[in-house]
Structure 1
């Protein structure tokens, strides 16, 4: 290991901040009743050293897997550090999994210990945990069996020195969200953490975004078990020392956001859409277009909107994980928030493509990041990527690993796309999402969903139609629209007219075989808990299709253009 690499490994960066910024507050953690705990670098590293020493006392085999299950918190990240310092491998689990999937991941990963954090429904997950598995209970965790973090910290002397890890060692196994079946364990090395941080910092400098620094603030609320939050929040805080705030709950989210006043904000399309819908409910788009164009007043109103969202101090706003309708991207950019699209996946440490400031093209996820090579398969249209953050492979699945690469080492993303003359990438759908109508025509549903999803009354839509004469849309109405309907403040006829007119506008832009014949307004919301969304809030297309498939024939034969799912 070279001296340069030693200085820039994830653990070496932690030791840097431990000595150079010891008294600086690094984490701000809500602890209930509106109170927060501020944790300095010195305090965080002291706890990490004590927990690492405790893990070493367990005499586990070197490089054992240690599972980490919990919602985002300061101690989630401190646990990750402790696992690494003790010479082991972290295995994060989404805090919304069912017991079956929890059990599968713990068994498949060969986890030796479970570090248990804050959870909403531990009782539903606990049956998936082997009764003989040692448990370490983090602060804010549910009351259950196991050793408490507080006792470990109080009774264990801190690990001394600066134990480090070789960059090519396995650092973590990140399990995919399982949108198409059993999750796969993506093996990532310490080098992926290092190279992605340094290359991204290089890109920010070159394109004028400005380097991430201890002066930056982020709110961590997307699952840290997902590689994007782990990279954008966890890894950037390790390398560049930015301050990290955490959200307490969905009910307190706005308060948490306004406390953090983030300078960098990363979110997924579902939440960007919810923010947009919330503003449009209070100030309809027609009024916005008039008021925002009035000199001075328009500028003040836009600023007020961003302040209301807690985003007034954001200098870098990023969206990723799934497509966001272009109309919503343009809306944010119109407010003065240059929403930058990013594209990546667990298999390349979310390091693939990023929109360069001033070079955005709506509907495109940007240029390849430094060190990334991208091409489009000439026969299938699949996006092929070679990234410095490329995985070591799928854990215990060499066959799937081999099938995921071309002969010359490009990862098969499973996404279809195209490159423009400037090298910007547009994702046009998933290879597996393509379906064929009964007329023998192939349909890519994602572009249609993007167009339909731009309407403020639509929270999310799934376009279906395999083996049917024509496509149709399953629509989950926005929360505000559902509430208005339930209270009687809004009539179904108004919603139907509005969205059927929108459907016709979208249909006019599509080829005949792609055009939707009808819309179905679904009764129950699609959530992570009922299995219709992944933990990263993407639709589980196959599950949604299976759920509604028994009704499709009846809907098609009804010859209605607007259908309300039966109560």
Structure 2
């Protein structure tokens, strides 16, 4: 790729602003109504903000801390247009994590948008960092619209090279402090070219942006893909209006993490009074197609042509449930370090339990220990300020050591077995890989928040929270289900894998509590640290409410 022929988000924004200036790009529901921004309006605001940002030294690091909104994308594009580097921060991150990211990245400025805990967070942000509000007027920081009105459009966007950084994405930190993944322009360009072999995005496509834009998947699949291919982006006003906002958007491509798909399934079945009613309806000839179509319409998925599930392991029962209502979920696999790109199931492939084949242009192999090694054109430039860790992660031959364990079948389909760091040893000297056992328990117990523990114990044991399930006000009922299911689950496991106990709690596991990542993945170390002192594996009772 030469510096003359590669595309950038800014060059593509210019393209669409001049080719389809009056076409709507961003749709933002607000308390006062729906705001719509055309391609030209977005380009105009971005170029004016870029002029303001040109006061900072070239290649400055500028952060964004906000829930998803139209001005998140505009701020990102303005940072790029001014020749700077975007530092996205999860809006649910703790104050200590926000400060760590700002300090480690040496950010010069910070765009601040809507936050769920703004009253607690804003007063404690570092004073030395310049702040700009993209949400509303604030007495202690300039407001986006005022700055846009004040400036003329930048005369010429900054010139960038393929190997220049577009962003430093801090990982969500399941294994420790977040690491700064350096993403060059060449990687973004390569990723968006490679993905065309799986799905072709056009200006007729509609995306819904609701997962954190600080996550590589949302940034690539929504932020960058929309501006590269001219698709429309719709945002949600709040979680309370999620379904209605999705129905209004009528997305054609929809991305969700496993927890989101699971919660959608649970909400539908609970509304119908349990899975039995829907099973009867879907099993009735002539009626089943009508019911499936009606359900998709009520969920806002009537026009979805490609649905993606990624970022964590997926319960097979959930995949099959959506397939029954006519919505095929295509699993995918990738990391921040590869721009979220590696494997994906194609729409025409029937593949349950595996995350797809290699995307053409990517390479994959397994190490002797079963670790997944990746190599592709969308690879990161390394970890910011961590050359030793970079050298440990990317070997001399350019292979990225993912830390994930996998299995590749004869057709080249990849299955994720677990994380190498998650494997633990019992006192019997046997190693346990928790991921597959956790998925089995989620399916059998019909609960989505579980964690298998047992390092230093004779047998592994399961911890479950019912806080966000239908059993939140009746954990005793769930205890009876566990008592029935535990022997059946154990029968399907090897002797060293069989669980001695199931422990039930009613505490919410959320990003705010520090027990989940911002993308709703389990954080094992904090969970074990919090709950192990409360767990007694010497009790004769096999299912215990703690």
TM-score (norm 2): 0.97
Measure the CA separation in 1 of the matches of 2:440 and 2:202. Answer: 37
Match of 1:424 among 402, 413, 418: 413
Larger deviation, residues 127-136 vs 232-241: 127-136
Residue 159, structure 1, aligned to residue 159, structure 2? no
Larger deviation, residues 290-299 vs 474-483: 474-483
- How big is each residue's C-alpha offset from its partner over 1:373-414, in whole Å with a ceiling of 9 and x where there is no partner? 000111x11111112210000000000000002332110101
Match of 2:462 among 430, 448, 473: 473
Match of 1:270 among 238, 254, 259: 259
Tell me, yes or no, if the aligned pair for 1:340 and 1:360 is still in contact at 8 Å: no
TM superposition shift of 1:481: 1.7
**3-state SS of the aligned residue for 1:558?**
coil
Residue 184, structure 1, aligned to residue 179, structure 2? yes
Tell me, yes or no, if the aligned pair for 2:479 and 2:545 is still in contact at 8 Å: no
Tell me, yes or no, if the aligned pair for 1:386 and 1:411 is still in contact at 8 Å: yes
TM superposition shift of 1:359: 2.1
TM superposition shift of 1:124: 2.9
- Look up the match of 2:170: 175
Match of 1:544 among 520, 527, 530: 527
Measure the CA separation in 1 of the matches of 2:503 and 2:285. Answer: 42
Measure the CA separation in 1 of the matches of 2:268 and 2:508. Answer: 21
Measure the CA separation in 2 of the matches of 1:2 and 1:407. Answer: 24
Residue 350, structure 1, aligned to residue 333, structure 2? no
Tell me, yes or no, if the aligned pair for 2:29 and 2:236 is still in contact at 8 Å: yes
Measure the CA separation in 1 of the matches of 2:144 and 2:287. Answer: 53
**3-state SS of the aligned residue for 1:224?**
coil
CA, structure 1 residues 457+169, in 2 after alignment: closer, same or farther (shift >3 Å)? same
Measure the CA separation in 2 of the matches of 1:197 and 1:548. Answer: 42
TM superposition shift of 1:509: 1.5
Match of 1:560 among 510, 518, 541: 541
CA, structure 1 residues 456+439, in 2 after alignment: closer, same or farther (shift >3 Å)? closer
Q: Give the gaps of 5 or more residues in structure 1.
A: 205-210, 486-490
Larger deviation, residues 193-202 vs 497-506: 497-506
- Look up the match of 1:52: 50
- How big is each residue's C-alpha offset from its partner over 1:543-566, in whole Å with a ceiling of 9 and x where there is no partner? 1011111122x2x1211111111x
Matches within 5 A, 1:190-339: 190-204=185-199, 211-283=200-272, 284-339=274-329
CA, structure 1 residues 250+432, in 2 after alignment: closer, same or farther (shift >3 Å)? same
Residue 36, structure 1, aligned to residue 34, structure 2? yes
CA, structure 1 residues 127+433, in 2 after alignment: closer, same or farther (shift >3 Å)? farther
**3-state SS of the aligned residue for 1:171?**
strand
Measure the CA separation in 1 of the matches of 2:313 and 2:11. Answer: 36
TM superposition shift of 1:483: 4.5
- Look up the match of 1:517: 500
- Look up the match of 1:5: 5
The root-mean-square deviation of aligned C-alpha atoms, in Å, is 1.6
TM superposition shift of 1:502: 2.8
TM superposition shift of 1:143: 3.2
Residue 532, structure 1, aligned to residue 515, structure 2? yes
Tell me, yes or no, if the aligned pair for 1:122 and 1:142 is still in contact at 8 Å: no
- Look up the match of 1:65: 61
Tell me, yes or no, if the aligned pair for 2:66 and 2:114 is still in contact at 8 Å: yes
Measure the CA separation in 2 of the matches of 1:296 and 1:303. Answer: 12
TM superposition shift of 1:2: 4.6
CA, structure 1 residues 173+142, in 2 after alignment: closer, same or farther (shift >3 Å)? farther
Matches within 5 A, 1:62-141: 62-126=58-122, 129-138=125-134, 140-141=135-136
TM superposition shift of 1:118: 1.3
Name segments (4+ residues, structure 1) moved above 6 Å: none
**3-state SS of the aligned residue for 2:448?**
strand
TM superposition shift of 1:480: 4.3
- Look up the match of 2:144: 149
Tell me, yes or no, if the aligned pair for 1:354 and 1:368 is still in contact at 8 Å: yes
TM superposition shift of 1:432: 0.2
Measure the CA separation in 2 of the matches of 1:330 and 1:410. Answer: 34
Tell me, yes or no, if the aligned pair for 1:186 and 1:393 is still in contact at 8 Å: yes
Measure the CA separation in 1 of the matches of 2:288 and 2:355. Answer: 29
Measure the CA separation in 1 of the matches of 2:262 and 2:493. Answer: 23
Measure the CA separation in 1 of the matches of 2:253 and 2:441. Answer: 29
Q: Give the gaps of 5 or more residues in structure 2.
A: none
Tell me, yes or no, if the aligned pair for 1:170 and 1:187 is still in contact at 8 Å: yes
Measure the CA separation in 1 of the matches of 2:425 and 2:357. Answer: 31
TM superposition shift of 1:456: 6.3
Residue 439, structure 1, aligned to residue 428, structure 2? yes
- How big is each residue's C-alpha offset from its partner over 1:344-380, in whole Å with a ceiling of 9 and x where there is no partner? 11111001110122323211000111211000111x1
Larger deviation, residues 328-337 vs 88-97: 328-337
**3-state SS of the aligned residue for 1:289?**
helix
Aligned residues: 545
Tell me, yes or no, if the aligned pair for 1:264 and 1:317 is still in contact at 8 Å: yes
